[in-house]
Amino acid sequence: MDLQELRQQIDKIDSDLVRLFQQRLDVSAEIAQYKQQNNLAIHDPARERQILFDLTHNVGEGRESYITALYSLLFELSRSEQERILNPSSGIADRIQSAIRDTEWMFPSRTVVACQGTEGAYSQLAAEKLFALPSILYCNTFDGVFAAIDSGLSPYGLLPLENSTAGSINHVYDLMMRYPFSIVRSVRIKVDHCLLAKEETAISSIKEIFSHEQAIAQCSGFLKTLNCKVTACENTAVAAKMVSESPRKDVAALSSRNCADLYNLRRLADSVQDQGNNYTRFICVSKSLAIYPGADKTSLMLTIPHRPGSLYQILSRFYIHGINLIKLESRPIPDRDFEFMFYFDLEIPVYSPALIQVLRELNDLSDEFYYLGSYAEVI
């Protein structure tokens, strides 16, 4: 039998599979109606477990895992179809539609925005990139930024979420579990760290370098070449200001280029980060939900049941609906032993019916579900 004949057999089998799969979905829809009428849960794990046991009993050696993988996906598809039929609308869909309808068409150009740090911080650069005329309210901590938004002191806040070299900023993720907020936009800022010191200071005389812990991580290779103490502080701009105001002549700061002029410091070394392609992603957050035109990213937080397959059920829904998952982060939940909050970034227009459907399903699958917003990213 030649290749063409074998492919014809495959085509015939595939055609039969599609026909049988549609029949299976039709029966699944009838089961959904029965469950609704009799107040039964859509998910029946005991039934699925028994099916997998029976189906894998007589398959060829080494193929049990194939059958398990295939039918696990079929179960997810059937549940997705049942949920679509039984829950044609949801509170999340209504919130999103209301936000799209009520949000202004233009992103604001003049506003107060809370940032962590002081003048010259990278968050200031992010604010100036997002807003034409920002009035910046500087806070000492990331917690202070969230508190300013929560109290109504500032309508917007900017927070660094991740760096292309040093990774996620975990403390911000932890704070996201404590405050109600929505993401309305994100922005990427090119990070270019310089070694700054007073005019009379030479590299050979430096005994201590100050900077933010993320900047220290991003410049670890350069710092290893210097025989000096490295001390973390609140912000790279704060570090530059500390060096400028210090009576010591043996200290330096890892900070941005514009901090040199701002704090009258000399650049002893430029672009000392380990990677030239070094970017930090900031999120712009507000207390109320707003969805501006062009929103093509969505962020979520959720907790899931502590049982085998829970995370698979979540991830499979993105695959089923053709949604690109671009970030997955997990953080331990304070005061809960071995329980985690999962953070997801999705790449899909907010106007897509697939997004509404997957949000509806994830809300049902999760113990706790938080829709953080849909937004565009400025690059």
Alpha-helical segments (H) within 116-270 = 122-130, 142-150, 170-176, 213-218, 220-224, 236-245, 257-262
Q: What is the pLDDT of residue 259?
A: 92
- For residues 218-244, give the mean pLDDT: 92
Determine which of 111-125, 252-266, 280-294, 325-339 has the lowest per-residue pLDDT on average.
Answer: 325-339
**89 pLDDT tier (thresholds 50, 70, 90):** low
pLDDT(64) > 70: yes
**346 pLDDT tier (thresholds 50, 70, 90):** very high
Structure tokens at 33: 């109606």
Q: How many residues does the chain have?
A: 379
Structure tokens at 2: 């030649």
Q: Which H or E run contains 274?
A: none
Enter the DSSP assignment of 179: S
Q: How far apart are CA 236 and CA 228, in angstroms?
A: 18
pLDDT(85) > 90: no
CB atoms within 10 A of CB 372: 19
Domain boundaries, the chain: 3-86, 91-103+293-379, 193-269
pLDDT tens digits, residue range 93-122?
889 999 999 999 999 999 999 999 888 888
Average pLDDT along the chain = 90
Residues 6+ apart with CB under 8 A from 42: 32, 35, 79, 82, 83, 86, 364
**Residue 345 φ then ψ, to 5°:** -115, 125
**CATH classification of 193-269 is 3.40.50.300, yes or no?**
no
Q: How far apart are CA 103 and CA 101, in angstroms?
A: 6
pLDDT tens digits, residue range 39-62?
888 778 888 889 989 888 888 778
Q: What is the pLDDT of residue 101?
A: 93
Whether the CA torsion 228, 233, 236, 241 is positive or negative: it is negative
- For residues 204-220, give the mean pLDDT: 92
- Of the candidate CATH numbers 3.30.365.10, 3.30.70.260, 3.20.20.70, 3.50.30.30, the domain formed by 91-103+293-379 belongs to 3.30.70.260
Catalytic residues: 280, 282
**267 pLDDT tier (thresholds 50, 70, 90):** very high
- For residues 184-191, give the mean pLDDT: 93
- For residues 70-75, give the mean pLDDT: 87
The whole-model pTM stands at 0.80
pLDDT(336) > 90: no
pLDDT tens digits, residue range 271-312?
999 887 889 999 999 999 999 999 999 999 999 887 777 888
pLDDT(243) > 90: yes
Q: How far apart are CA 250 and CA 38, in angstroms?
A: 77
**Residue 186 φ then ψ, to 5°:** -135, 160
CATH topology of domain 3-86: Chorismate Mutase Domain, subunit A (1.20.59)
Q: What is the pLDDT of residue 244?
A: 94
Share of the chain above pLDDT 70, in %: 99
Beta strand 266-269 pairing with 279-286: unpaired
Q: What is the pLDDT of residue 154?
A: 95
**Residue 77 φ then ψ, to 5°:** -65, -40
CB atoms within 10 A of CB 306: 12
**88 pLDDT tier (thresholds 50, 70, 90):** low
**323 pLDDT tier (thresholds 50, 70, 90):** very high
- For residues 21-37, give the mean pLDDT: 89
214-to-2, 210, 230, 234, 275 alpha-carbon distances in Å? 61, 12, 12, 10, 13
pLDDT(152) > 90: yes
